[in-house]
Amino acid sequence: MSLTDEPKSRRPSLTDRVATVKKVEYLILEDRRITIHVIMHETGLSYGSVWKIIHNELHMSKVSARWVPRLMAPLQRETRLELSRQMLTLLKQDEEDFFGRLVTMDESWIYLHDPKTKEMSKERKHTTSPPPKKAKVQKSAGKVMLSVIWNCCGVILTDYLAKSQTITSAYYCTLLNKLRDALKKKRRGMLTKGVRLLADNAHSS
């Protein structure tokens, strides 16, 4: 019988641990969609070790991308930033005049048949009464694009896009002409004072 200690694996040093964590972080920053199995292959660590490093030490989690209307190019972001600064300057000069001259618009699809949602169909009942039943109905295939233009005093103009047409710069030019006529009738003196149109849509040129 031997009285000497048998060789055994030692607890990894703190320096090695820091280097391992940095390597895992580097792999993730290189590819944000990298899987734990790929990290295991690159580092030689177990699944549990990689999971603990990601969540307990790097404090990272995997999330889905958030949907946005559009992704702007760097030049578009700079332009929007500059326009926003100009709007803030005008607001600080005269808040009442700023909102009084501001006109904005938005579009939305209007379905020919838009059924009530499940939340809207809720009814009150006794605990012993059976719940109501409702057949599932889909939105109609037919729909029309509605454009609404308004200011702080209310709606100025509504316009429905003709069937089989698309929103183009020519459509916006026609819409601006309709807006001019509507302002003359519903907001007297506003054209003379000056209108600031706030619309993030197709260019009218």
Hey, where are the domains in the chain?
14-57, 90-121+136-198
What's phi and psi for 155, nearest 5 deg? -75, 135
**Percentage of residues of the chain with pLDDT beyond 90:** 31
What's phi and psi for 132, nearest 5 deg? -70, 155
Give the per-residue pLDDT at 201: 54
Compute CA distances 4 → 7, 8, 9, 95, whole Å: 9, 12, 16, 87
Q: Quick one: tokens of 120?
A: 């809207």
Provide the CATH topology of domain 90-121+136-198: Nucleotidyltransferase; domain 5 (3.30.420)
Q: Which of 103, 83, 81, 90 minimizes the C-alpha distance to 183?
A: 103
Confidence of residue 13 (pLDDT cuts 50, 70, 90): low
At 143-197, the pLDDT tens digits run 888 899 999 889 999 999 877 778 888 888 899 999 999 999 998 888 888 888 8
Span 64-69, mean pLDDT? 77
Q: How many Å from the N-terminal Cα to the C-terminal Cα in the chain?
A: 95
Full-model pTM: 0.53
Q: Quick one: tokens of 163?
A: 């069937």
Give the per-residue pLDDT at 15: 58
Distance between CA atoms of residues 59 and 56, nearest Å: 5
